[in-house]
Amino acid sequence: MSILSWIEDQRKLKLLNAPKYSHPDTDGSQGLWTRCDHCGVILYIKHLKENQRVCFGCGYHLQMNSTERIDYLIDSGTWHPLDETVSPCDPLEFRDQKNYTERLKEAQERTGLQDSVQTGTGLLDGIPIALGVMDFNFMGGSMGSVVGEKITRLIEYATMEGLPLILVCASGGARMQEGILSLMQMAKISAALHVHQNCAKLLYIAVLTSPTTGGVTASFAMLGDLIFAEPKALIGFAGRRVIEQTLQEQLPDDFQTSEYLLHHGLLDLIVPRSFLKQALSETITLYKEAPMKICGSIPYGQRGPLTKVREEQLRRFANASESPSFKNSLLEFEDLLNRFEEKKFTHENDLLTKAIELASNQDSQTRWLNPSKKTFQVRADFLNPTSFED
């Protein structure tokens, strides 16, 4: 063995035996730089995030995850998520190159989300709104049964509270791994929007980002009272190649872009990302102050239109520094039940005050109090309905 070979073997052995240090917050696969999809300019990721993922060279809007978009649109400390724990299953036991459950697990570990949409309530420039944001990083933002259920619940909650609704769309369409179960979400969401818009006469704004295609475009993305879009966003139903082969003709270069759709009357406004929050705020404010606003009829069982008092309650609740935990609320609820059963304080004002306090601190998992004329029906999702007479 030559000296050079011996030195090379020793070097390789040293590298193999060297300790490997890793930090949980460090991902070696993610670099510090990225490239613009439009002009190819090299961009520093830290500065790109500070600029809301808008290219410094050409102004192209790169994809933005749902958490970043929520942080940008919602006032700090006012975001209250809904249905965070709802997770998809595999009823069809679908398998292609991988099992559907494996793909779900990988996407959940990579993004930290349960599915491709985040829903909740918060304040936008001090205005209470219901917001749903889709995340393209989770399986292409595809719409499955959980996505449809979460968006439907959000719409129903917005209708019940009289809140304006904003849905930010970024999706490749219906999720093929769930088959017809994903396609039926189009009808379910559209039915909930019909009640929100046509019955309750509440505002719904759709914000289309790149890409918005497939079943999402064919359903709630195009049902907004106002439809906003980001510049140069890809918006369409079928793919460009499929349409060209079907029509046997060449399509324009800007086909299925937001500018093309605006020119043909399918969009109301193209808003740059830096002005989106201001545009939404001014639009909702103008809608609220409209002198000839049509008052709709809220379906039976709903709370009713958003009044000044209710709006202030929602604003104060959103600005609360710390929301009550589910465990503490459960303990207070059990104490309230014990006091009812022992027939103590049945005519005291402090009991009613306590019940109202619990009702004002309700979250997406519990509804503490339903007042009737002489009966207080206290119920929760984990107990059977129980009523107590005065």
DSSP string, 187-217: HHHHHHHHIIIIIS---EEEEEEEEE-HHHH
150: helix, strand or coil: helix
pLDDT at 305: 56
Is residue 214 a part of any domain in this protein? Answer: yes
Is residue 135 within 8 Å of 119, Cβ to Cβ?
no
| pLDDT confidence band for 331 (50 / 70 / 90) | low
Do 162 and 276 reside in the same domain of the chain? yes
Do 58 and 72 reside in the same domain of the chain? no
Which tens digit of pLDDT belongs to each residue from 159-213?
988 899 999 999 999 999 999 999 999 999 999 999 999 988 899 999 999 999 9
Q: CA-to-CA distance for 143 and 171, rounded, in angstroms?
A: 7
pLDDT at 388: 36
Is there a binding annotation on residue 58? yes
- For residue 113, how many C-alpha atoms fall within 13 Å in the half-sphere facing its CB? 22
User: Is the entire prediction scored with pTM above 0.85?
Assistant: no
pLDDT at 23: 41
> What percent of the chain is predicted at pLDDT more than 70?
72
- Cβ neighbors of 184 (< 8 A, separation 6 or more) are 148
| pLDDT confidence band for 150 (50 / 70 / 90) | very high
Is residue 310 a part of any domain in this protein? Answer: no
Last residue of a domain, which of 13, 43, 62?
62
Do 147 and 249 reside in the same domain of the chain? yes
Last residue of a domain, which of 288, 308, 342?
288
Do 143 and 40 reside in the same domain of the chain? no
Angle at 36 between CA 30 and CA 39, to 5 degrees: 155
Is residue 275 a part of any domain in this protein? Answer: yes
Tell me the residue range of the domain where 368 lies.
326-389
Do 113 and 232 reside in the same domain of the chain? yes
Do 204 and 247 reside in the same domain of the chain? yes
Residue 375: burial class (beta carbons within 10 Å; 0-12, 13-18, 19+): exposed
Last residue of a domain, which of 288, 310, 338?
288
| Residue 74: closest CA among 133, 138, 17 | 133
Is residue 320 a part of any domain in this protein? Answer: no
Is residue 230 a part of any domain in this protein? Answer: yes
Do 51 and 185 reside in the same domain of the chain? no
pLDDT above 60 (res 344): no
Is there a binding annotation on residue 169? no
Report how many domains make up the chain.
Answer: 3
Is residue 98 a part of any domain in this protein? Answer: yes
Do 155 and 237 reside in the same domain of the chain? yes
Do 239 and 279 reside in the same domain of the chain? yes
Q: What letters, b where the CB count within 10 A reaches 16 and e where it falls short, cover 134-158?
A: bbbbbbbbbbbbbbbbbbbbbbbbb
Do 47 and 92 reside in the same domain of the chain? no
Is residue 7 a part of any domain in this protein? Answer: no
Is residue 99 within 8 Å of 282, Cβ to Cβ?
no
Do 103 and 215 reside in the same domain of the chain? yes
For the chain, the maximum distance between any two Cα atoms, rounded to a whole number of angstroms, is 99
Is there a binding annotation on residue 199? no
Q: What is the CATH number of the domain that holds 248?
A: 3.90.226.10
Q: CA-to-CA distance for 90 and 100, rounded, in angstroms?
A: 7
Tokens read off for 166: 């904003």
Is residue 23 a part of any domain in this protein? Answer: no
pLDDT above 70 (res 372): no
